[in-house]
């Protein structure tokens, strides 16, 4: 049966010739034993430029450069191929037009069955473009290497996967002090301080770079001479083309000078702040002297008139009322000072601000007068806050009065609330339609005794109390104003998820068990005597102690139902006394009293009841009622 294919009709030698002639990317031809060209394919013609009849019979050395021919490279190639069975190399070759190209050459000997050499098979490929690309890559790498090596302000180097240094640039040597032969192959942790090495910072840096794609921070590093310097460090992981992690790129910059400048700037700022504090202190002391002299004039004058006697009942009560009212004003002034200094002992409660403002707005409207419209804009779903309700109302009242004074011809005061989602703060904003303030006034508005009002028209403590209360409660105060466009004061307080406080508000009559035995601990004799009279008036049996040690001695001898103690005393403080009593008399109620104390302000008094000085009969009664609860009087217990 005849074959249908054509290949069987073509002799094997002809098929081989067809295959060779079909190749155009390679010059494939034969040489005789002397190196003369015996065959020529289209690939050879394409990139060498010769037709077959131009080169067949010619020696193949014509394709070599004059330098290679002079060095007898064509003949050495034939000798090597004949002796070793193969010759392979890359080098310059020459086209017919004289241009050079880079060639990859393979030369194989051709032998008969009995081993006689009859010629050579030669395959040449033009790889000029590949060579150019490799050369361009090499030059690019060289330029990059020169660039990296030329950088003196940055340490730029590589780490292997384990953190060992694999190369080193001039900037690294300048910054860290090591030459390349000293550091290549060493672990990069040698640049870290002993403290950082001890807590695993080098390993953590590499892990962070791998996990997050980058590690960056500023920290102290160590030079070769042991000197420490501030460094900005960046570490990036490096992956090869297959996506395999092969190491890290590390860049370090010495930022010691910048850090030093920042520290000097901070010192300058601190010095300026101290200077401003001294200036404010001068205004503060002068303002306190002025206001308290006025208050003392009223108190002393009223007391002298009472001492003279012979007054009518109506005049006697008038002078007593003057003394009481002036004392209250002095207490308010002291409270404002303490709030500004963030030393006011607070009694925080969990509050619904919207509810309190809704109830307070009507009272505020009457206080500000008929020319001021008070408008509420209360946000629904307002978060709760934990703050001293009395101090909160004082702060808002101070801000409202300030707004009223900025609207002498009347206007509108809008009180708005809002949740600040991003900061977790509750905002109470008071916006007036008044005169507004220029920048130089805004910058000083929270300073104590700074006021733009005429002498005798304001203490200058209103907004400082507003600011101090905000800061002491864990928030902040802000002012936004522009001349002619009104002012907005913002009180921003932290939110709380605690339940609303159930503390009773308003004045109440507290029924205390008669005969309650109270240990009064107070180092100031006059205050102690005053407090004893108040407690006597409440029906208490009072035992006196001048200090904490004396109180402990009395407690060893006497039965006591309650301890009422000052906080600030020489020796054992009231807080320390209370802590001791927790161990020795765990069920004994303790009430602390203080006008100012770090221990109370900073919360070290714990959950103890605190009464602020100056106190009154009703505040002591309320505190005792909360402390002792429904206690059965001692006499009743004895009868039982």
Q: At 461, which CATH number?
A: 3.30.565.10
Number of separate domains in the chain: 5
Angle among Cα 221, 225, 230 to the nearest 5 degrees reads 25
Residues 376, 466 within the same domain: yes
Cα-trace Rg, the chain: 48
Same structural domain, 275 and 249: no
Q: Does 489 lie in the same domain as 372?
A: yes
Q: Is the pLDDT of residue 16 over 90?
A: no
* CA 463 – CA 451 distance, rounded (Å): 10
CB 341 within 8 Å of CB 594? no
Query: Within a domain: residue 369?
Result: yes
Closest CA to 367 of 426, 413, 325: 413
User: Could you say which DSSP state residue 233 is in?
Assistant: E
Q: Do 281 and 166 share a structural domain?
A: no
CATH of the domain at 223: 3.30.450.20
pLDDT digits (tens, 9 = 90+) for 148-190: 555 567 888 889 999 999 888 888 888 889 998 899 999 999 9
Q: What's the mean pLDDT in 309-325?
A: 80
pLDDT of 53 strictly over 70: yes
d(CA 71, CA 449): 101
Query: Is 574 among the domain residues?
Result: yes
Q: What is the pLDDT of residues 65-84, one digit of tens each?
A: 999 999 999 999 999 999 99
Structure tokens at 338: 């303490």
Cα angle 616, 550, 564; round to 5:
25
Q: Give me the residues paired with residue 508 across strands.
A: none
Q: Is 604 contained in some domain?
A: yes
pLDDT band at 141; cut points 50, 70, 90: low
Place of tokens 């779903």: 381
Residue 75: predicted pLDDT: 95
Distance CA 20, CA 187 (A): 57
Query: What range does the domain containing 175 cover?
Result: 151-254
In a domain, residue 452? The reply is yes
pLDDT bracket for residue 455 (50, 70, 90): very low
Within a domain: residue 583? yes
Average pLDDT over residues 272-291: 59
Cβ pair 195, 222 in contact under 8 A: no
333 against 304, higher pLDDT: 304
Please, where are the H alpha helices in 513-597? 525-537, 548-557, 574-584
Is the domain of 358 the same as that of 480? yes
How many residues are listed for the chain in this entry? 640
Structural contact between residues 204 and 187, judged by C-beta atoms closer than 8 angstroms: no
User: CB of 566 within 8 A of CB of 574?
Assistant: yes
Residue among 436, 416, 442, 429 at smallest CA distance from 486: 436
Query: Are residues 276 and 249 both part of a single domain?
Result: no
Given pLDDT bands bounded at 50, 70 and 90, which one contains residue 288?
A: low
Sequence-distant (≥ 6) Cβ neighbours of residue 296 within 8 angstroms: none
Interior CA angle at 323 toward 320 and 327, to 5°?
A: 145
Verify that 470 and 560 share a domain, yes or no: no
State the pLDDT at residue 458.
44
Alpha-carbon span 394 to 390, nearest angstrom = 6
DSSP state of 457: S
How far apart, in whole angstroms, are the C-alpha atoms of residue 190 and residue 206?
A: 14
Q: Are residues 240 and 278 in the same domain?
A: no
- Averaged pLDDT, 556-560: 92
CA distance 211 to 564: 60
145: in domain:
no
- Per-residue pLDDT reduced to its tens digit, 185-207: 999 999 999 999 999 999 999 99
Last residue of a domain, one of 254, 276, 294: 254
CA 170 to chain centroid, in Å, comes to: 34
The average confidence (pLDDT) of the chain is 81
β-strand pairing of 245-254 with 154-159: antiparallel
Burial class (CB in 10 A: 0-12, 13-18, 19+), 391: buried
Give the separation between CA 97 and CA 26, rounded to whole angstroms.
Answer: 19
**Residue 230, strand partner residues:** 220
In a domain, residue 186? The reply is yes
Looking at the fold, whether 309 and 375 belong to one and the same domain comes out as no
Indicate whether 361 and 385 sit together in one domain: yes
450 located within any domain = yes
Which tokens hold the place of 516? 């309650």
The CATH number that applies at residue 608 is: 3.40.50.2300
Domain boundary among the residues 213, 233, 254 is at: 254
Residue where a domain terminates, one of 496, 527, 558: 496
Please tell me whether residues 271 and 228 are part of one structural domain.
no
User: 87-119 burial by CB neighbour count: b if 16+ within 10 A, else e?
Assistant: beeeeebbeeeeeebbbbbbbebbeeeeeeeeb
The string of pLDDT tens digits covering residues 294-312 is: 677 777 777 776 887 777 8
Please choose, from the candidates 503, 549, 540, 547, the residue with its C-alpha nearest in 3D space to the C-alpha of residue 524.
547
Q: Cite the beta strand spans of 40-173 per DSSP E.
A: 87-94, 100-111, 117-126, 154-159
For the segment 87-110, the average pLDDT, to the nearest whole number, is: 92
249/270 same-domain check: no
Residue 540: alpha-carbon gap to chain centroid: 54
């Amino acid at each position: 049966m005849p074959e249908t294919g054509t290949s069987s009709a073509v002799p094997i030698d002809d098929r081989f010739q067809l295959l060779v002639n079909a190749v155009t990317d390679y010059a494939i031809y034969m040489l005789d034993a002397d190196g003369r060209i015996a065959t020529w394919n289209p690939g050879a013609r394409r990139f060498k430029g010769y037709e077959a009849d131009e080169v067949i019979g010619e020696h193949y050395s014509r394709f070599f450069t004059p330098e290679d021919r002079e060095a007898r490279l064509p003949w050495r190639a034939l000798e090597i191929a004949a002796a070793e069975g193969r010759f392979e190399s890359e080098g310059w070759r020459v086209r017919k037009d004289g241009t050079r190209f880079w060639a990859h050459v393979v030369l194989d000997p051709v032998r008969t069955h009995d081993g006689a050499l009859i010629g050579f098979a030669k395959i040449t490929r033009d790889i000029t473009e590949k060579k150019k690309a490799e050369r361009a890559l090499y030059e690019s790498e060289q330029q990059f290497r020169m660039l990296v090596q030329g950088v003196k302000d940055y340490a730029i180097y590589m780490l292997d996967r384990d953190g060992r240094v694999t190369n080193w640039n001039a900037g690294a040597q300048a910054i860290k002090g090591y030459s390349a032969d000293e550091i290549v192959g060493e672990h990069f942790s040698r640049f870290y301080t002993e403290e950082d090495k001890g807590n695993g910072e080098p390993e953590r840096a590499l892990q962070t770079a791998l996990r997050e794609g980058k590690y960056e921070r500023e920290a102290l590093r160590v030079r070769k001479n042991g000197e420490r310097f501030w460094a900005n460090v960046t570490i990036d992981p490096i992956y090869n083309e297959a996506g395999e992690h092969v190491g890290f790129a590390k860049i370090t910059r010495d930022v010691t000078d910048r850090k030093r400048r920042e520290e000097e700037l901070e010192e300058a700022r601190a010095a300026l702040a101290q200077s401003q504090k001294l200036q404010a202190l001068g205004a503060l002391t002068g303002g306190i002297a002025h206001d308290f002299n006025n208050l003392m004039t009223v108190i002393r004058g009223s007391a002298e008139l009472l001492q003279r006697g012979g007054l009518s009942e109506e005049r006697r009560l008038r002078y007593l009322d003057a003394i009481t009212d002036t004392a209250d004003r002095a207490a308010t002034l002291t409270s404002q000072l303490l709030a500004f200094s963030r030393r006011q002992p607070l009694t925080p409660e969990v509050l619904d601000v919207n509810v309190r403002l809704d109830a307070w707005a009507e009272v505020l409207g009457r206080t500000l007068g008929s020319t001021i419209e008070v408008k509420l804009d209360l946000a629904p779903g307002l978060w709760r806050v934990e703050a001293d309700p009395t101090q909160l109302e004082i702060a808002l009242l101070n801000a409202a009065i300030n707004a009223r004074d900025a609207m002498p011809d009347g206007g509108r005061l809008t009180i708005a609330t809002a949740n600040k989602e991003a900061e977790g703060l509750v905002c109470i904003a008071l916006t007036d339609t008044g005169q507004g303030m220029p920048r130089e006034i805004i910058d000083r508005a929270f300073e104590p005794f700074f006021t733009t009002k005429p002498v005798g028209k304001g203490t200058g403590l209103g907004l400082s109390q507003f600011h101090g209360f905000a800061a002491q409660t864990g928030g902040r105060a802000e002012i936004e104003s522009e001349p002619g466009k009104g002012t907005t004061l913002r009180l921003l307080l932290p939110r709380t998820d605690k339940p609303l406080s159930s503390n009773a508000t308003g004045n109440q009559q507290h029924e205390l068990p008669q005969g309650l035995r109270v240990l009064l601990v107070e180092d100031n004799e006059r205050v102690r005597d005053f407090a004893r009279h108040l407690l006597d008036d409440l029906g208490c049996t009072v035992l006196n102690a001048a200090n904490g040690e004396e109180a402990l001695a009395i407690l060893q001898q006497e039965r006591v139902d309650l301890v009422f103690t000052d906080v600030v005393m020489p020796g054992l403080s009231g807080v320390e006394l209370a802590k001791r009593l927790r161990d020795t008399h765990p069920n004994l109620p303790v009430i602390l009293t203080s006008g100012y104390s770090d221990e109370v302000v900073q919360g070290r008094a714990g959950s103890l009841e605190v009464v602020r000085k100056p106190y009154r009969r009703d505040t002591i009664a309320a505190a005792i009622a909360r402390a002792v609860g429904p206690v059965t009087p001692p006499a009743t217990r004895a009868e039982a």
